[in-house]
Amino acid sequence: MQNWVLAGALAVLVSFLMAFGALAQQAEIKGTISSQIEAFKADDFDEAFTYATPTLQRLFQSPQNFERMVTQGYPMVWRPAEVEYLDLEEHGGSHWQKVRIVDQKGFTHMLLYRMIETDAGWRIGGVQILEAPGATA
């Protein structure tokens, strides 16, 4: 009987530690995305560029190239009116954070951020624009 109680307590402890780890991971991922969005709002593309993975940094080569891509291809993250973090999922070893963004004109955009854990912390490995459920907020 005592072994069953001990095993049950151990299972509860392991479940708690795993849940706590997942919450901490999600908070770090949200922090990375939020920090990049705040840098965009301040037009600090040098800072925003630091939240991209080394692979994306090599691809864009400079914060100026990154700025052009963001302002022309992803204006909703450059000047969002509202940001809401939805589901964080793991598929095939990659973490994907779904984010709902309302732009300055009131249009809703759904984005999927690919998050990569690096030695420097969580970094953004790409952003995919999903079909939004509705045109306006």
H-state helical runs in 1-137: 2-41, 45-49, 54-60, 63-73, 75-78
Number of domain units in the chain: 1
pLDDT tens column, 85-119: 998 988 777 899 999 999 999 999 999 999 999 88
**Domain containing 74: what range?**
2-130
Specify which residues 107 forms β-bridges with.
Answer: 136
Residue 102 parent element (H or E): strand 94-103
Q: What's the pTM?
A: 0.76
Q: CB atoms < 10 A from the CB of 84, how many? A: 11
User: Is 136 part of any domain?
Assistant: no
For the record, the structure tokens of 29 come out as: 């991922």
Q: How confident is the model at residue 7 (pLDDT cuts 50, 70, 90)?
A: low
Q: What number of CA atoms fall less than 13 Å from residue 47's CA on the CB side?
A: 13
Q: What CATH number did the domain enclosing 20 receive? A: 3.10.450.50
User: Is 137 part of any domain?
Assistant: no
Instruction: For residue 18, give the 3-state DSSP assignment.
Output: helix
Q: What is the pLDDT of residue 13?
A: 47
Q: What is the pLDDT of residue 19?
A: 47
- Cα 95 from Cα 22, distance rounded (Å): 11
pLDDT tens column, 10-68: 555 455 444 445 556 678 999 999 999 999 999 999 999 999 999 999 999 999 999 99
